[in-house]
A and B are shown apart, each in its own frame.
Chain A
Amino acid sequence: MGRISVKPAAKADGRIGEFAAALSRRAEAMPPGICPVGVVLGQLQVSLAQTCGKCTPCAQGMPKMAKILQDVAQFKADEAALRELRAAADLLRETGDCAVGWQAADMVLAGLEAFPEEFASHLEAGQCAAGTRQTVPCTTLCPAHVNVPAYIALAAEGDCAGAVKMIRKDNPFPTACAMICEHPCEERCRRTMVDAPVNIRGLKKYIVDTVPANTVPVPRPLPATGKRVAVVGAGPSGLTCAYFLGLMGHEVTVFEQRQQLGGMMRYGIPAYRFPRQRLDEDLQAICSLPNLEVRANSPIDGDGLKRLAGEYDAVYVAIGAQGGKMLTLPGSDAAGVMSAVDLLEAIGDGNYPDFTGKNVVVIGGGNVAMDCARTSVRAGAQSVTVTYRRRLEDMTALPAEVEAAIAEGVEMMCLQAPECIEVDAAGAACALLCQPQRIGAVKRGRPVPEAADKPLLRIPADIVLVAVGQAIESAPFEEAGLEADRTYFCADEFLQAPGFSNVYVGGDCQWGPRTVIMAIGAGKAAAANIDEALGFCHQLDCGAQVPPARSNNRTPYGRVQVAERPARERRGDFECVEIPVSHEEAMQECGRCLRCDVYGIGALTGKEQGAW
Chain B
Amino acid sequence: MVTISLDGREVQAAEGTKLVDAAAAAGVSIPTLCYLKGLNFIGSCRVCLVEVEGEGLVASCNTAVREGMVVRTATPAVAAARRANLQAITDDHRAVCATCVRQDTCALRSLSSAFNLEDSTQPLPEKGTWDEDFPLQRDSSKCIKCMRCVAICRDVQHCGVWDFTGMGPSMKVTVRDGLPISQAGCALCGQCITHCPTGALTARDDVSLIMEAILDPEVMTVVQVAPAVRTAWGEGVGLSHDEATPGRLASALHALGFDKVFDTDFAADLTIMEEGSEFVEFMASDKPRPMFTSCCPGWVRFAKLHYPGVVHQLSSAKSPHQMLGAVVKNTLADEAQAAGKRLFCVSIMPCVAKKYECDVPELATVPAGEDPQLAAEAAPDVDAVLTVRELDRLLRTVGVQCATLPEVDFDNPLGTSTGAATIFGRTGGVMEAALRSAAYLITGENPDFSTCDTTDATPEVPWVSKTLAIGDATVRIAIASGLENTAQLLDALERGEAEFDFVEIMACPGGCVGGGGQPIHFNREMGAQRAGILNRLDNAAPLRYSHENPDIHQLYETWLEQPLSHTAHEWLHTHQEDWQI
The answer to whether B42 and A604 have CB atoms under 8 Å apart is: yes
Is B165 within 8 A of A128, CB to CB? yes
B495, A598: Cβ atoms closer than 8 Å: no
Q: Given A127-B178, A548-B64, A599-B43, are A535 and B495 neighbors across the interface (CB < 8 Å)?
A: yes
**Docked CA distance A132–B178 (Å):** 13
Closest chain A residue to B166, Cβ basis: A128
Interface SS of chain A = loop
What is the distance, in angstroms, from A577's C-beta to the closest C-beta of chain B? Answer: 39
Report the nearest B residue to A600, measured CB to CB: B43
> Does residue B55 face the partner (Cβ distance < 8 Å to A)?
yes
B18 to chain A, nearest CB (A): 9
Are A603 and B167 in contact (CB-based, < 8 A)?
A: no
Q: Least Cβ distance of B482 to chain A in Å?
A: 18
| A551 pairs with B42, CB closer than 8 A | no
- The verdict on A73 contacting B168 (CB below 8 Å), with A536-B495, A551-B52, A604-B42 known, is yes
The reply to whether A550 and B66 contact each other, CB–CB distance below 8 Å, is: yes
- Given the complex, which residues of A lie within 8 Å of B377, measured CB to CB? none
Q: Are B43 and A603 in contact (CB under 8 A)?
A: yes
Of the listed stretches B169-177, B219-227, B396-404, B559-567, chain A binds B169-177
Number of A-B contacts (CB under 8 A): 57
CB-CB under 8 A from B64, the residues of chain A are: 548-549
Contact B166 A75 (CB under 8 A): yes
Which residue of B has the minimal Cβ distance to A607? B155
A127 to B162, alpha carbons, bound, how many Å?
13
The answer to whether A74 and B166 have CB atoms under 8 Å apart is: yes
CB of B16 closer than 8 Å to a CB of A: yes
- Chain B residues near A75 (CB, 8 Å)? 166, 170
Which among A132, A548, A549 has the greatest number of chain B C-beta atoms within 10 A? A548
Interface status of A556 (Cβ within 8 A of chain B): no
Q: Which residues of B contact A34 (CB under 8 A)?
A: 167
Query: Beyond A126-B178, A127-B174, A537-B491, is A35–B166 a contact (Cβ under 8 Å)?
Result: yes
Q: Within 8 Å of chain A (Cβ to Cβ): is B147? A: yes
Contact pattern, A 117-161, Cβ under 8 Å of B = 1, otherwise 0: 000000001111010101000000000000000000000000000
Q: Would you call A74 and B169 a contact (CB within 8 A)?
A: yes
Asked if A38 is at the interface of the complex by the 8 Å CB criterion, the answer is yes
Q: Does B62 sit within 8 A of A, measured CB to CB?
A: yes
CB of A538, distance to nearest CB on chain B (Å):
10
Residue from B55, B164, B177, B495 in contact with A551 in the complex, judged by beta carbons closer than 8 Å: B55
Q: Does B63 contact A (CB under 8 A)?
A: yes
Nearest chain-B residue to A35 (Cβ)? B167
B58 within 8 A of A: yes
Complex Cα distance, B129 from A75, in Å, reads: 14
Q: Per-position contact with A for B26-49: 1 when CB-CB < 8 Å, else 0?
A: 000000000000000111100000
* B166 touching A127, Cβ below 8 Å: yes
Return the chain A residue nearest B128 by Cβ.
Answer: A126
Contact with B along A203-219 (1 / 0, CB 8 A): 00000000000000000
Expressed in whole angstroms, the minimum distance between the Cβ of A80 and any Cβ of chain B is: 20
Q: Are B170 and A73 in contact (CB under 8 A)?
A: yes
Inter-chain contacts of B166 with A (CB < 8 A): 35, 73-75, 127-128
Q: Name B16's contact: one of A548, A598, A603 (CB within 8 Å).
A: A548
Tell me the smallest distance from the CB of A336 to a CB of chain B, in Å.
58
- By beta carbon, the residue of chain A nearest B61 is A603
A residues contacting the other copy or chain, number (CB 8 A): 24
Known: A127-B174, A599-B43, A604-B42. A38 touches B55 (CB 8 A): no
Query: How distant is the Cα of A402 from the Cα of B380 in the complex, in angstroms?
Result: 79
In contact, A74 and B170 (Cβ under 8 angstroms): yes
- CB contacts (< 8 Å) of B172 on chain A: these are 127
CB neighbours of B63 from chain A (8 A):
548-549, 551
Q: Which residue of B lies closest to A124 (CB)?
A: B178
Q: Which of A519-550 contact B (CB under 8 A)?
A: 535-537, 548-550
A132 to B66, CA, bound (A): 36
| Chain B minimum-CB-distance residue to A601 | B42
Residues of B near A603 (CB, < 8 A) are: 41-44, 62
Residues of A close to B58: CB separation below 8 A: 551
Assembly CA distance A74 to B92 (angstroms): 15
Residue of A nearest to B52 (CB): A551
Q: What chain B residues lie within 8 Å of A598 (beta carbons)? A: 62
Looking at B166, B174, B177, the one whose CB has the most chain A CB atoms below 10 A away is B166
CA A75 to CA B168, docked complex, whole Å:
12
Q: Per-residue 0/1 for A545-564: is the Cβ within 8 Å of any B Cβ (1 yes, 0 no)?
A: 00011110000000000000
Please name all residues of chain B whose beta carbon is closer than 8 Å to the beta carbon of A74 when the two chains form the complex.
166, 169-170
Return the CB mask of A595-612 against B: 1 if under 8 Å, else 0. Answer: 000110001100000000
Enumerate chain B residues within 8 angstroms of A134, measured Cβ to Cβ: 167
Binary flags per residue of B476-497, CB closer than 8 Å to A gives 1, else 0:
0000000000000001000100
Chain A 568-607 interface mask (CB, 8 Å, partner B; 1/0): 0000000000000000000000000000001100011000
Question: How many angstroms from the CA of A595 to the CA of B542 in the assembled complex?
Answer: 60
Tell me which of B56, B147, B168, B491 contacts A38 (CB under 8 A). Answer: B168
Cα(A483)–Cα(B167), bound, Å: 42
Whole-angstrom distance between the Cβ of B359 and the nearest chain A Cβ = 29
| Docked pose: A495 CA to B42 CA in angstroms | 34
- Give min CB distance, A377 to chain B, whole Å: 50
Measured CB to CB, the closest approach of chain B to A153, in angstroms, equals 11
Closest beta carbon of chain B to A261's beta carbon, Å: 33
Report A-chain residues with C-beta under 8 Å of the C-beta of B168: 38, 73
Nearest CB in chain B: distance from A609 CB, A: 14
Question: Could you mark each residue 184-196 of chain B with 1 if its beta carbon is under 8 Å from any beta carbon of chain A, else 0?
Answer: 0000000000000
Alpha-carbon gap, A74 to B126, bound state (A): 14
Using CB atoms and an 8 Å cutoff, list the residues of chain B in contact with chain A. 16, 41-44, 52, 55-56, 58, 62-64, 66, 147, 164-170, 172, 174, 177-178, 491, 495
25 A-B pairs with CB atoms under 8 Å apart are A34-B167, A38-B167, A73-B168, A74-B169, A75-B170, A126-B174, A126-B178, A127-B165, A127-B172, A127-B178, A128-B165, A128-B166, A535-B495, A537-B491, A548-B66, A549-B64, A550-B66, A551-B52, A551-B55, A551-B56, A551-B63, A603-B41, A604-B42, A604-B147, A604-B164
**Additional pairs, 6, CB under 8 Å, beyond known A126-B178, A551-B52, A604-B44:** A127-B166, A536-B495, A549-B63, A549-B64, A603-B43, A603-B62
Closest 8 CB pairs of A and B: A548-B64, A127-B165, A74-B170, A551-B55, A603-B42, A125-B178, A128-B165, A35-B167
